[in-house]
């Protein structure tokens, strides 16, 4: 038997040309397969969406547009918001003085009264298309936020009777959205109103800011051949004032190009994006939801864009107009690793580029060797000035009230470490993770003290959102232990003789044990987990740090008790409570329980367009649900790749292709009839390859040319295979000749479409 790793395009083309899969080759599904799963996931609207939580959304990580009915009017709203647009007055804190600022919206105002809509958001091409029906006629619409430009383009073909429809731009008041929910600080005032100017055939709304700089929205409309096309662009500048000219230039360049001429580059990026991985499961609703999250992630995140704020680029009235670092950011970016989309990793870059802000977050005596991150920041990690803490946003453990959340930077660096582990790009570890984690851990080391029990203890800190301070807070102990272990291992790998290495080892040996009672992991010493709480900050050692694992029999009772006690308090649980529970259950190899938690999330919390609400728009929870599904189909922590470890009993068939794992492997696998039929691993970096395939012995293991590969049986269903960079292993039951094509699985039942179908 032979197998070779061809590019997706080449293998698909070869299969199409021959009419069948080449014998013995792992054949990636041709483009039609991606088109099929994405078309099945397309959201449709046959009822008018009334809110952000119901309507279509378009974006390119900078410009975002949400589409829904204009409240109280016979019109359709197309919002235009931008992830770089923010205020610059740190004296009023992150949530007011550095808040993201709303830009505005366009209204499409038809001649007649709106009577019906029929829209489809095509995920494959990232375009919205359909019709708007009124008492006067119809408007055929196409819309996109162009992938390569900060530009919204909407093409409309009016029928007779609707030729005189109009577009109207409504600038938003440049004030923190939080002011609608909470009284602003004394002295805070709104920025001046935008000024609308006319420049030839284009208009521009110029929004100057009190702190200097500003943003501008330019637009123009072209007509001809029975259609009208709106072009709208946004630019932001600070401290300079180039926004107006930049916005006008982007619109002028586009307005000379028709919609169809703008499509090729836009579609090419999106089509190639999806083809980097493939996942198909029998739950049609969950599978559609998953592919929508990949669309949402690429609409909200790119490596060179600002790190995602709580509602992505689609800013709406919200009490959360900033970037949140005590859970939101971490959950938003988890799915990029397994889905093989590191091109979306803005988090690692943002941490690396804004080191001075991380040092400034801590009190002056600690800035020479320490760093931290406030709970909320702007796009450049500035947490603003906090007068209560002497002009820095983080408090001092054991001294300030409320006690600080010290662990947020360390947790964010765990995400960056995952990017290193999934690529084995040593520069991420050397240049970003190690130096910043060293400073984050140093901040803890300043406050560790040895108790009468001989163990090292932390003074009072805060477990995110629980509201009760605690010494030896589990959130911090767990992150500190992970941080010291990672620093020690990294220094050895990088060949660094760090003078702090003995201190890290001392912490690992002498750190106080995690506070535990009869209900499992506590909030901290003397503070039990005794009320409903949505956040699983006290359980990070279980997930995502995998410091406590189900594979250690001595930890199983603690894991099971802690999970049951936490998720058993129903009152305050929110959507991400169930994604966290699903991932913990996946670690426990309980696929049915994990599926149950995800199903409960979809039933109770996810909105019609897969968005999510907690007092305002937030997007981390649906994105983290995609990671929970990843945890069911593959886990690669601890140096072991676990293939299909937590599949529900009802899922007889599963397909996964080019799933990225720790160690920089690309995994493909097929489960059919309740049995894993084959597993393929392609090594990018030549890292040690230990895999738990779930395939019964005896095994056949061959390389990319079909030659037998040496392998070692480690027991417990695990084998070790030597793979050099570029090497490949195909594993299947001995004596079988499995179908090696990668194709979607048949759904158990047709799920209703997301959106607002009839």
Indicate whether 123 and 240 sit together in one domain.
yes
What percent of the chain is modeled with pLDDT above 70? 96
For residue 170, the SS3 value is: strand
- The beta-strand segments (E) located in 469-614 are 516-517, 520-521, 612-613
Q: How far is CA 115 from the centre of its chain?
A: 37
Residue 545 lies in a domain: no
Task: List C-alpha distances in Å: 137 to 113, 128, 134, 167.
Answer: 9, 20, 5, 17
Query: Average pLDDT of 263-278?
Result: 97
pLDDT band at 31 (very low <50, low <70, confident <90, very high): confident
Query: Average pLDDT of 109-113?
Result: 98
Indicate whether 80 and 58 sit together in one domain.
yes
The 689-692 sheet, strands edge to edge: 634-635, 641-643, 689-692, 718-721, 712-715
pTM, full prediction:
0.95
Indicate whether 377 and 242 sit together in one domain.
no
Residue 301 lies in a domain: no
Residue 96 lies in a domain: yes
Mind listing the pLDDT tens digit for each residue in 519-554? 999 999 999 999 999 999 999 999 999 999 999 999
- The beta-strand segments (E) located in 552-638 are 612-613, 617-618, 634-635
pLDDT band at 105 (very low <50, low <70, confident <90, very high): very high
Cis amide leading into 544 (omega within 30): yes
Residue 561 lies in a domain: no
pLDDT at 403: 85
Partners of 497 in beta bridges = none
Mind listing the pLDDT tens digit for each residue in 392-404? 888 899 998 888 9
Query: Average pLDDT of 575-599?
Result: 97
pLDDT at 715: 94
To 10 degrees, the CA torsion angle through 234, 235, 238, 239? -120
Cβ distance 95 to 72 under 8 Å?
Answer: no
Q: Which class for 568: exposed (0-12), middle (13-18), buried (19 or more C-beta within 10 A)? A: exposed
pLDDT at 750: 72
Mind listing the pLDDT tens digit for each residue in 335-349? 999 999 999 999 999
pLDDT at 448: 98
Question: Which residue, among 653, 674, 670, 693, has the nearest Cα to 741 in the 3D structure?
Answer: 670
Token pair 């409504």 in the structure block, residue: 170
Show Cβ contacts of residue 604 under 8 Å, excluding neighbours closer than 6 positions.
575
Mind listing the pLDDT tens digit for each residue in 200-252? 999 999 999 999 999 999 999 999 989 999 999 999 999 999 999 999 999 99
pLDDT band at 28 (very low <50, low <70, confident <90, very high): low
DSSP string, 441-475: HHHHHTT-EE-TTS-EE---B--TTT---BTT-HH
Residue 492 lies in a domain: yes
pLDDT at 20: 37
Question: Which residue, among 683, 684, 635, has the nearest Cα to 656 in the 3D structure?
Answer: 635
Indicate whether 30 and 105 sit together in one domain.
no
Residue 8 has pLDDT above 50, yes or no: no
Provide the CATH number for the domain around residue 250.
Answer: 2.70.98.50
Indicate whether 26 and 63 sit together in one domain.
no
Helix 31-41 vs helix 259-274: crossing angle, to nearest 10: 100
Task: List C-alpha distances in Å: 149 to 219, 250, 705.
Answer: 14, 8, 44
Please state, in angstroms and rounded to a whole number, the distance separating the CA atoms of residues 17 and 433.
47
pLDDT band at 411 (very low <50, low <70, confident <90, very high): very high
Q: What is the 3-state secondary structure (H, E, C) of 264-303?
A: HHHHHHHHHHHCCCEEECCEHHHHHHHHHHHHHHHHHCCC
pLDDT at 29: 57
CA dihedral for 274, 280, 285, 290, sign (positive or negative): negative
Residue 544 lies in a domain: no
CA dihedral for 464, 544, 99, 365, sign (positive or negative): positive
pLDDT at 649: 97
pLDDT at 32: 82
Q: Which two tokens stand for residue 195?
A: 């000024």
Per-residue b or e along 110-143, where b marks 16 or more CB atoms closer than 10 Å to that residue's CB: bbbebeebbbbbbbbbbbbbbebbbebbbbbbbb
Indicate whether 31 and 176 sit together in one domain.
no
- Report the residue count for the chain: 758
Residue 113 has pLDDT above 70, yes or no: yes
- Which of 484, 500, 535 terminates a domain? The answer is 535
Per-residue b or e along 497-533, where b marks 16 or more CB atoms closer than 10 Å to that residue's CB: ebebeebbebbeeebbebbeeeebbbbbbebbbeeeb
pLDDT at 33: 85
Please state, in angstroms and rounded to a whole number, the distance separating the CA atoms of residues 404 and 382.
16
Please state, in angstroms and rounded to a whole number, the distance separating the CA atoms of residues 531 and 671.
41
Please state, in angstroms and rounded to a whole number, the distance separating the CA atoms of residues 710 and 688.
14
Residue 6 has pLDDT above 50, yes or no: no
Residue 19 has pLDDT above 50, yes or no: no
What percent of the chain is modeled with pLDDT above 90? 90
Query: Average pLDDT of 512-516?
Result: 98
Range of the domain at 728: 8-37+641-733
Greatest mean pLDDT range, 33-37, 265-269, 533-537, 734-738: 265-269
Please state, in angstroms and rounded to a whole number, the distance separating the CA atoms of residues 36 and 358.
45
pLDDT at 390: 75
Provide the CATH number for the domain around residue 671.
Answer: 2.60.40.1180
Indicate whether 33 and 84 sit together in one domain.
no
Query: Average pLDDT of 461-474?
Result: 94
To 10 degrees, the CA torsion angle through 171, 176, 177, 180? -110
pLDDT band at 15 (very low <50, low <70, confident <90, very high): very low
The kind and range of the H/E element at 312 are none
For residue 621, the SS3 value is: helix
Residue 582 lies in a domain: no
- Which of 228, 245, 274 terminates a domain? The answer is 274
Provide the CATH number for the domain around residue 477.
Answer: 1.50.10.10
Indicate whether 243 and 365 sit together in one domain.
no
Mind listing the pLDDT tens digit for each residue in 574-583? 999 999 999 9
Give me the number of domains the chain comprises.
3
Residue 14 has pLDDT above 90, yes or no: no
Indicate whether 236 and 102 sit together in one domain.
yes
Indicate whether 648 and 725 sit together in one domain.
yes
Indicate whether 257 and 120 sit together in one domain.
yes
Residue 23 has pLDDT above 70, yes or no: no
Please state, in angstroms and rounded to a whole number, the distance separating the CA atoms of residues 445 and 110.
64
- Which of 519, 535, 551 terminates a domain? The answer is 535
Q: Which two tokens stand for residue 631?
A: 């945890």
For residue 607, the SS3 value is: coil
pLDDT at 26: 57
Question: Given the DSSP bridges, would you call strands 456-457 and 449-450 parallel, antiparallel or unpaired?
Answer: antiparallel
- The beta-strand segments (E) located in 225-268 are 227-237
pLDDT at 27: 59
Token pair 């009072």 in the structure block, residue: 460
Indicate whether 32 and 53 sit together in one domain.
no
Q: Which class for 296: exposed (0-12), middle (13-18), buried (19 or more C-beta within 10 A)? A: buried
pLDDT at 25: 54
Residue 599 lies in a domain: no
Token pair 């970016």 in the structure block, residue: 333
For residue 252, the SS3 value is: helix
Mean pLDDT (the chain, rounded):
94
pLDDT at 10: 29
DSSP letter for 423, please.
H
């Amino acid at each position: 038997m032979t197998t070779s790793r061809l590019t997706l395009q080449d293998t698909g083309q070869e299969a199409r040309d021959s009419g069948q899969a080449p014998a013995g080759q792992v054949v990636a599904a041709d483009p039609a397969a991606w088109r099929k799963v994405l078309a099945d996931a397309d959201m449709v609207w046959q009822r008018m969406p009334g809110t952000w939580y119901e309507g279509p959304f378009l974006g390119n990580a900078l410009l975002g547009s949400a589409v829904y009915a204009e409240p109280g009017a016979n019109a359709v709203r197309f919002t235009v918001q931008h992830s770089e647009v923010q205020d610059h007055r740190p004296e009023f804190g992150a949530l007011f003085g550095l808040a993201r600022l709303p830009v505005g919206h366009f209204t499409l105002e038809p001649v007649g009264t709106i009577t019906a809509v029929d829209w489809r958001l095509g995920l494959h091409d990232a375009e919205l298309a359909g019709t708007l029906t009124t008492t006067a006629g119809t408007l055929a619409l196409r819309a996109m936020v162009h992938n390569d430009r900060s530009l919204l383009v909407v093409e409309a073909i009016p029928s007779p009777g609707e030729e005189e429809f109009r577009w109207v731009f409504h600038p938003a008041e440049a004030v923190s959205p939080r002011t609608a929910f909470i009284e602003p600080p004394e002295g805070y005032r709104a920025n001046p109103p935008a000024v609308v100017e006319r420049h030839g055939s284009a208009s521009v709304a110029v929004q100057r800011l009190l702190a200097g700089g500003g943003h501008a929205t330019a637009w123009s409309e072209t007509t001809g051949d029975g259609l009208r096309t709106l072009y709208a662009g946004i630019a932001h500048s600070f401290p300079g004032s180039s926004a107006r000219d930049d916005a006008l230039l982007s619109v002028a360049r586009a307005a000379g190009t028709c919609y169809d001429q703008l499509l090729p580059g836009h579609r090419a990026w999106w089509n190639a994006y999806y083809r980097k991985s493939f996942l198909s499961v029998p739950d049609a609703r969950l599978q559609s939801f998953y592919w929508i999250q990949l669309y949402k992630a690429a609409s909200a995140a790119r490596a060179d864009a600002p790190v995602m704020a709580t509602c992505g680029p689609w800013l709406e009235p919200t009490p959360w107009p900033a970037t949140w670092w005590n859970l939101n950011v971490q959950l938003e970016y988890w799915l990029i690793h397994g889905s093989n989309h590191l091109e979306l990793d803005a988090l690692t870059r943002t941490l690396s580029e804004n080191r001075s802000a991380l040092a400034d977050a801590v009190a002056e005596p600690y800035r020479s060797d320490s760093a931290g991150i406030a709970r909320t920041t702007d796009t450049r990690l500035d947490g603003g000035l906090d007068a209560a803490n002497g002009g820095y946003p983080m408090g001092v453990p054991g001294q300030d009230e409320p006690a600080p959340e010290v662990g947020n930077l360390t947790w964010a660096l765990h995400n960056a470490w995952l990017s290193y582990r999934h690529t084995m790009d040593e520069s991420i570890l050397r240049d970003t993770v190690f130096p910043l984690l060293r400073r984050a851990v140093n901040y803890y080391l300043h406050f560790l003290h040895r108790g009468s029990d001989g163990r090292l203890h932390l003074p009072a800190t805060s477990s995110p959102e629980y509201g009760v301070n605690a010494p030896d807070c589990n959130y911090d102990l767990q992150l500190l232990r992970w941080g010291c272990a990672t620093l020690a291992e990294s220094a050895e790998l990088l060949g660094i003789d760090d003078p702090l290495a003995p201190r890290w080892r001392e912490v690992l040996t002498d750190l106080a044990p995690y506070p535990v009672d009869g209900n499992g992991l506590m909030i901290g010493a003397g503070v039990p987990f005794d009320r409903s709480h949505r956040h699983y900050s006290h359980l990070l050692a279980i997930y995502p740090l995998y410091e406590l694992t189900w594979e250690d029999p001595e930890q199983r009772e603690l894991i099971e008790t802690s999970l049951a006690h936490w998720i058993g308090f129903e009152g305050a649980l929110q959507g991400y409570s169930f994604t966290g529970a699903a991932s913990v259950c996946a670690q426990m190899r309980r696929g049915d329980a994990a599926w149950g938690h995800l199903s409960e999330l979809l039933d109770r919390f996810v909105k019609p367009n897969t968005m999510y609400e907690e007092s305002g728009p937030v997007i981390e929870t649906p994105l983290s649900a995609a990671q929970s599904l990843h945890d069911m189909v593959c886990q690669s922590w601890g140096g072991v790749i676990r293939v299909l470890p937590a599949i529900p009993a009802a899922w007889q068939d599963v397909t996964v292709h080019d799933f990225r794992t720790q160690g920089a492997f690309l995994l493909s696998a097929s489960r059919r009839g309740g049995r894993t039929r084959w597993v393929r691993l392609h090594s990018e970096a030549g890292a040690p390859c230990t895999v738990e395939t779930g395939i019964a012995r005896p095994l056949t293991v061959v390389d990319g040319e079909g030659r037998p590969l040496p392998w070692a049986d480690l027991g417990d269903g695990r084998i070790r295979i030597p793979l050099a960079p570029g090497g490949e292993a195909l594993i299947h039951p001995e004596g079988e000749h499995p179908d090696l094509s990668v194709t979607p699985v048949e759904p158990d039942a047709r799920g209703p479409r997301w959106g607002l179908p009839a």
